[in-house]
Structure 1
């Protein structure tokens, strides 16, 4: 009985957010119904992962310690600073000796 309750709890943790994320994706892509699309588009974040992906990753990390290390590494990379010297090729550069400036578009 306890095992069944635990399985049901884990299923709800994964299935419900995944269903909401799927419905949100379909509404945003199709544009119908328009009132719901406007509400979702106004409230959706510009970057980051959704609730369903976060819950799935945390559940995966609970089962597998290597996933926890991967999530922590992702958080560390978000905090680290990007240096211009570390980029290859550089997006911008100024050569004072030659008197040239290089600016590249992203893309």
Structure 2
């Protein structure tokens, strides 16, 4: 169950990218119904060189051989939105519950 959270990008762009959830699911061998997107409005506080930065965090059951392909897929889509796209993967193996059911 990959959960993608987006910061630093408008909600409408996240909605557009969600249309590619099927491509992502196929890329990582997951059911598209298990791909979840969150839009997290935020503001970067920093030294200004990357004020238009995007942060995408991905919580998932570890797929180390798929990380680079997923990162490229995300960067290709958002390349016109920012020159600074950070992508952070977190493995949630056996640590994610939905309601009271273990799902990850």
- TM-score band by shorter chain is under 0.3
| Higher normalized strand content (fraction of residues) | 2
If asked which structure has higher relative contact order (CA below 8 Å, sep 6+), I would say 2
| Higher normalized helix content (fraction of residues) | 1
Please say which structure displays the higher CA radius of gyration: 1
